[in-house]
Chain A
Amino acid sequence: MAKRTFKIWRGNAEGGEFVTYETDITEGMVVLDAIHQIQSESANDLAVRWNCKAGKCGSCSMEINGKPKLSCMTRMNSMPATGEIVIQPMKAFPVVKDLVCDVSYNYERNKMIPPFSPRPREADGTHRMVQDDVDRIQEFRKCLECFLCMDVCHVHRDHGKQKEFSGPRWMIRLASLEMHPLDIVDRIPLIKKEHGSGYCNITRCCTEVCPEHINITDNGIIPLKERVVDRFYDPIAMLMRKVFGPRKPHKKLPVIND
């Protein structure tokens, strides 16, 4: 057992400061365990979001030593062996209290997306889709809505363009609808305009932090940008095509029934 020192940001929308705590670390502990221990021992009112403690709900996002992470999946033995561990809320969202931020932006953004609308069921009352065709949208549907990608995207974090650009989580949600073999809605104009696909300049920071290892940029955003380019004009995607060559057409293909 070893004592470790934590500097945890405490405060609310009006302001706050780092407070230092010490707690014992035992084998296998994750950062969220340490925070809970501190909460139980010496900071009963410490605000922290969590639910599953198994990397499945995406509630426990925070910045640990400056890195956006799920605290329940960050093992203490992955931290530097010595020194303080600095814990603060996600920076790109307004803080509510301590480690909890106001993520309501995301719920509003989701509402702006026209819902899934399927073609009719087949005569036998089923929908048929081939596994190969759904693999790519299943990748996007792994999203936990942890919003870590939103936290690192510089378009929001550094440039404050929340109004103009929906951000990576909502780009892949749009992609999952666009590429859904059953869906019949055209969202391309909306992706360009309301969701601002052109603002993404493919830095891939979002992809790097995604705890579900979703290839947000390459598999989600770039194909969306290309679809937009096919219809409108987008300089970065045009450039991408020049450099990497054209991609496969992304028209919705009819599903083959057997």
Chain B
Amino acid sequence: MSHDIKTIEHDVIVIGAGGAGLRAAIECSAHGLDTAVVCKSLLGKAHTVMAEGGMAAALRNADNRDNWAVHFRDTMRGSKFLGVYRMAELHAKQAPERVKELEDWGAVFDRTKDGLINQRNFGGHRFPRLAHVGDRTGLELIRTLQDHGIHQGFEVYMECKAVKLIKDGDAVAGVLCLWKDSGRFMLLKAKAIILATGGAGKMWRVTSNSWEYTGDGAAMAYDAGAELMDIEFVQFHPTGMVWPPSVRGTLVTEGVRGEGGHLRNSEGKRFMFNYVPERFASETADTEEEAAKWLAGDKEARRPPELLTRDVVARAIYNEVKAGRGSPHGGAFLDIASNRPAEYIKKKLPSMYHQFKELAELDITTTPMEVGPTTHYFMGGIRVDPDSQQATTVKGLFACGECAAGLHGANRLGGNSLSDLIVFGKLAGDGAAAYAKGLGTAPSISDDQVTDAVRHVTAPLNRETGENPFQLHDELCEIMGEHVGIYRTEDGLGAGLEKLVGWREKIKNAKAHASSQYNAGWHEALDLESMAVVSQAVAMAAKERKESRGGHSRADHEVEDYDHWGNINIILKKGDDDEMVLSHYQREAPDPFLEKIAKATVEELDAMTASGEVEI
């Protein structure tokens, strides 16, 4: 059968055309490799396009007290010390040059008075650090990479879904793809494959994510024998829209709070002052007066509590609503109108202004928004080597961007994803190039593997009767929302896992109408298979981790347990009988110098920098 399938050979295949995938492809081309990109949507439409607030890099344009060490420390603290130290170091050190390079490729960031790239405040970042373009930074990033990328000589296969990684022994050899418009298959052979497929937030109903976020990359990698790590850490962004119902979950950028927005409950109280974690108390304002001074630019004042990390703010809103102090539609009030003039808001947050006006018929320059937590980001994903981005257990397979794990640990700081994409996208390109060039003979592919995969993928088309894939997706959201949401318990997760077993039985019987041309139902049925892997992984890992840390909150284990769980990453891998096997990875001791920076107080770090111990 497979000889009917068009086969094309490249050196490297990049799966995904978001920021990470495009940056990786540009790098592979720069290394002289024959490169191709495969993506589920049209070029330029990947999830990255939605990013709003900015990308974090210690450029020191808006506040010259910033430097890589401060960014590194913020990232490790934000990750609740579960991030991979080496990745956080690489990220903090390389992000500035990657951002400047975007400017060489045509990006046009907002400017400071001196004409440099402007930077804004965001949660968990000690200094204004986010390079941005109003609130459409993701569009700027993807368009820049796209317009530069199309002249670098790599091929782009759009609206083409990668369905299975094909291996030769313990190394990747290619990927089977399905063209959306024709329903035909294509086999891409390659020496190395880079996954840049993004997250899996579509397993929840209230989500900021697009249809593409079904965890395909994580599921394909898992299927090929890769390890998934930190997958229990799902970020619930504190501010999604809550009204009207059809847009519940749509993101309200953290930039609103970065630009001075306050959170208030139904009693008019700025409740975030009541939710400051001990570890952050010394760096957070404790009165409204001090917070106001900070906003006015007083460098001695500490940051308002609205800019605490996302996990903290999301839990706070959840608890306020639960305590009966929510807004009319079950959220909190986010008020920028009282703090900034209308013109400023329209200039700095144009798409938020537009979004509320069009979708909620609300003018954010006069009226507070209603916001509540929404599923947003996967901190966990494919486990990779911190320097090369190669998957730990599959040769020739690389991962970068949201589908990879490591940088963000238990909680990601806003703005650290876009910078993650360009830093680790490039490094994955370097890693794949080194691997591909070092490979003697190209791997080979057996027809059987391909034939089996094709048979499996076309099964939903050939069923006489079966389940409606859209409804199955809805059922999954129901299970995840009820059992694997923002607060989790042992019993709830146990019940959820059982329901998932039944659900996985049902999806084996998903049925799509017979036409294979641009068939939405068929693609939905295939996406369900990816979500089946990832949903089980999230629920198993969440049940295992008996503590609360970052994005993972256990109502029955509310404390952060640094002695035990602080040293463990949970790993999931496919077992010999195709069962999902969970194990604990005992974290090795971090580099002492990096650990010293990460755990230093603000004063200690400043002293280390002043003495030259930290070089900037």
Interface residues of A (CB under 8 A from B): 12, 26-30, 33, 39-40, 44-59, 73, 75, 96-98, 100, 103, 107, 110-111, 115-116, 118, 121, 125-131, 134, 137-138, 141-142, 144-145, 177, 180, 182-183, 255, 257-258
Cα A183 to Cα B106 in complex, Å, equals 8
Cα A48 to Cα B519 in complex, Å, equals 9
Question: B100: which A residues are within 8 A, CB to CB?
Answer: 121, 125-127
Question: A128: which B residues are within 8 A, CB to CB?
Answer: 114-116
Asked whether B471 lies within 8 Å of A131 as measured between CB atoms, the reply is: no
Q: Which of B512-548 contact A (CB under 8 A)?
A: 512-513, 515, 517-522, 524
Pick from A30, A98, A100, A116: contact of B359, CB under 8 Å: A30
Question: B114: which A residues are within 8 A, CB to CB?
Answer: 128, 258
Question: B243: which A residues are within 8 A, CB to CB?
Answer: 28
Asked whether A127 lies within 8 Å of B518 as measured between CB atoms, the reply is: no
Question: A255: which B residues are within 8 A, CB to CB?
Answer: 115
Known A56-B50, A141-B140; judge A49-B246 contact (CB<8 A): no
Asked whether A145 lies within 8 Å of B44 as measured between CB atoms, the reply is: yes
Question: B247: which A residues are within 8 A, CB to CB?
Answer: 28, 30, 53-54
Cα A45 to Cα B211 in complex, Å, equals 16
Q: How large is the interface on B (under 10, 10 to 19, 20 to 34, 35 or more residues)?
A: 35 or more
Question: B211: which A residues are within 8 A, CB to CB?
Answer: 50-51
Rounded to whole Å, the gap between the CB of B604 and the closest CB of chain A is 30
A-B contact count, CB below 8 Å? 168
Rounded to whole Å, the gap between the CB of B179 and the closest CB of chain A is 11
Question: A134: which B residues are within 8 A, CB to CB?
Answer: 108, 111
Stretch at the interface among B279-287, B350-358, B434-442: B350-358
**A27-B244, A48-B520, A126-B116 are known contacts; what are 12 more A-B pairs with Cβ within 8 Å?**
A28-B245, A44-B468, A54-B250, A56-B138, A115-B147, A118-B103, A129-B108, A137-B108, A138-B133, A142-B136, A144-B139, A257-B115
- In the complex, what residue of chain B is closest to A54 when comparing beta carbons? B250
Asked whether B354 lies within 8 Å of A55 as measured between CB atoms, the reply is: yes
Task: Please tell me if B143 contacts chain A, counting CB pairs below 8 Å.
Answer: yes
Rounded to whole Å, the gap between the CB of A160 and the closest CB of chain B is 23
Rounded to whole Å, the gap between the CB of A96 and the closest CB of chain B is 5
Asked whether A51 lies within 8 Å of B47 as measured between CB atoms, the reply is: yes
- In the complex, what residue of chain B is closest to A173 when comparing beta carbons? B147
Question: B519: which A residues are within 8 A, CB to CB?
Answer: 44-45, 47
Asked whether A75 lies within 8 Å of B115 as measured between CB atoms, the reply is: no
Question: A142: which B residues are within 8 A, CB to CB?
Answer: 136, 139
Cα A104 to Cα B184 in complex, Å, equals 18
Most interface-central of A27, A50, A53, A118 (chain B CB within 10 A): A53
Asked whether B106 lies within 8 Å of A52 as measured between CB atoms, the reply is: no
Known A53-B210, A56-B139, A57-B45; judge A26-B148 contact (CB<8 A): no
